[in-house]
Each structure stands twice: as structure tokens, then as C-alpha cells.
Amino acid sequence: MEINDFIILIVVLVNFLFYFNLNKISNYINIFDKPDKKRKIHKYNVPSIGGIIFILNILIYLFFELTFQFINTQTETIFLIFTILTIFILGFCDDKFDINSNFKLISFILIISIYFYLNNEQIVTELKFSSFSKIIHLGTYSFIFSVLSIVIFMNAFNMYDGINGQSGFYTLLLFSFLLINGQNFLLGLIIIICSLFFLYFNLKSKIFLGDSGSLVISFLFSVMIIKFYNSSNNFVCEEIFILMMLPGIDMTRLFIERMIRKKNPLKADKNHFHHLLLKSFNSTKVFLISSFLILVPILLMILKINLLLIITLFLISYSLIILRLKN
């Protein structure tokens, strides 16, 4: 048996054992998302421990990478392990104790700044736009741009995680895109396997991803997409924007609306895209609508449809849906 096959076998077994013992694990850890009849519409307590199984799968891969040095040097892998564990611990504490949002933001900026300081070859130094045939060199702004890009996407992904199936399907889609483009096949396959297990139980309301899960997944994807971007001459900013379009645009709208109402832009409310959809549709239809709006632009991008056209059509569709839902 080859080492990759052995790792995949371990991953599948770990997932089976985790979900087979889900009730025991959730009762022992005692982190539950409790319904409040406001933002949280589920009917009973659901364990928010999805991050645990994702971090376990990621650490399994990173352990073997350290041992066999599949791709990165040992130093790079150690930096990644340190950062991803720190993010997981902070997210886990947030799930358990509900940490202040401003403290979390500052913490993530600090953690990711340290990551790029220790691993500065992954910093984004230029922005490539195919629609305008233009390259913008970031120069001294490279570091802060790289840090803020990851922090913003982590926040957008976390805000998008609000309806059963959404985050699981989105994770599956993002890492499938990386896998199709030949970016770290083994790690991508491991996350896809983990996502399939999670999606099945999440759709049955047996488990939620929790902040620990959404933060770890979004950070890992950000690191991988930056590495892909830096190593490819053909992968451009518009494509990254399309991959992150729905969560990113919805987060931007929420921040603007909250600031207009003179509220903390980081404070949760019930104005997210999925919350607005829930006023007209049940949760299953909301999941299907959100998935459609994310999947179609990515498929069109893969089919080499004009990127600017894809973005324009999405913005028009999203705006019309929001206007319709708010009237």
C-alpha cells in the first residue's frame, strides 16, 4: 500500500469513528449551539464541534508531510501547524465562551501577521487583472494587503456559515476547485472527504461547523489559494473574486448597512442573505439557492466565460434578489 493510500484510509477511519461516537464526543466537550428563536432558528441544541474533525484531518496530513516532506520544507509546515492550531484554539474558545468580536479581530490580524512574517515568500506582491490587462505592484503594501485579505475572507466565510449545508458545500466546492487545478492533491482530497462526512450529518442537523471549523477552513483555503496565485501566471484576481463572491459581497453589504445604522459592523444580526431568504423559503430551498449562486459563477469561470461578464451578471442578480427580499 502506498503512503497516500494509507493516509486516506486513516482519514476515512477517523471520520467514521468521530461521527459514530458523535453524541459521546459532543456531550464530553459540551459545546452546543442553542436555539434562541431569533438568529438561531434550529429547534434543539446542536453540537458546534465540526472544527474538531477538520483540524484532526488537517493535522494528520501535516504530520505525514513533516515525516515524509511531500511538498513544503519542514520549517514551512511547522509555521502552518502553529498558525492553524492557534486559529483553531481561538475559534474553539469563541464557541465555548463567546469571545468579544473586537478582540477576535485584533487576534486574527496578529496571528496572520506573525504567519506572514515567518513565511514571507507567500505574501501577495502584485495584483493581476485579465479584464483590464493590468498588473498592480503592491510594493510596501504587500504585507498588510496579504494579512487583511485573509482576515476579511475568514470573516466572510464565518458569516456565511448560517444554514445547514451552506458551509459544507462551499468548502467542498472550494477545495474541489484547488484539486482540479492540481494544488496539493492529497490535502485537497482529505478536506473533500471530511466535507462529505460533515455535509451529510450537518444536513441532518447533527453537527454544526462552529467558529473553530469555519476559521480553520477559511484560513487553510486562503493560504492555498495565495500559493496557487503566486505560482501561476494564468490565475488572476477576478477568478479569486468569483470564488469568494457571495460571502464577500454579502459581508460588504452587511458592514455598510450596519455602519449606516451606527452599529458595530462586527456585531451579528439577522440581516444576512440566508436570513432574508428564510422569510420567503424554507431552509432546504435557501441552501439550494445559495449553492446555486455560488456554483454557477464558478462553473462559468471553469468554462472560460468572460470573467467580467460573470461578475456583472452576479452583481445584478444579487442586487435584484436583495431588493426583492427587502420589499
Digits of tens for pLDDT over the chain (327 positions)?
Answer: 688 889 999 999 999 999 999 999 999 999 988 876 665 665 688 999 999 999 999 999 998 888 876 555 678 888 999 999 999 999 999 999 989 989 999 999 999 999 999 988 889 999 999 988 899 999 999 999 999 999 999 999 999 998 999 999 999 999 999 999 988 889 999 999 999 999 999 999 999 999 999 999 999 999 999 999 999 989 999 999 999 999 999 999 999 999 998 888 878 788 899 989 998 899 999 999 999 999 999 999 999 999 999 999 999 999 999 999 887
Does 263 map to a domain?
A: no
Does 267 map to a domain?
A: no
Q: Which amino acid is at 189?
A: L
Does 186 map to a domain?
A: yes
The whole-angstrom separation of Cα 25 and Cα 19 is 9
Does 54 map to a domain?
A: yes
Does 258 map to a domain?
A: no
Domain that holds residue 26: 3-233
Does 44 map to a domain?
A: yes
Q: Are 250 and 163 in contact (CB under 8 A)?
A: no
Q: Which amino acid is at 290?
A: S
Place of cell 467580467: 308
The continuous run of DSSP H or E covering 32 comes out as strand 32-33
Nearest Cα to Cα of residue 118 among 86, 90, 155, 157? 86
Q: Which amino acid is at 282?
A: N
Q: Are 22 and 201 in contact (CB under 8 A)?
A: yes
The whole-angstrom separation of Cα 175 and Cα 178 is 5
Q: How many domains does the structure of the chain reveal?
A: 1
The whole-angstrom separation of Cα 294 and Cα 299 is 9
Does 151 map to a domain?
A: yes
Does 8 map to a domain?
A: yes
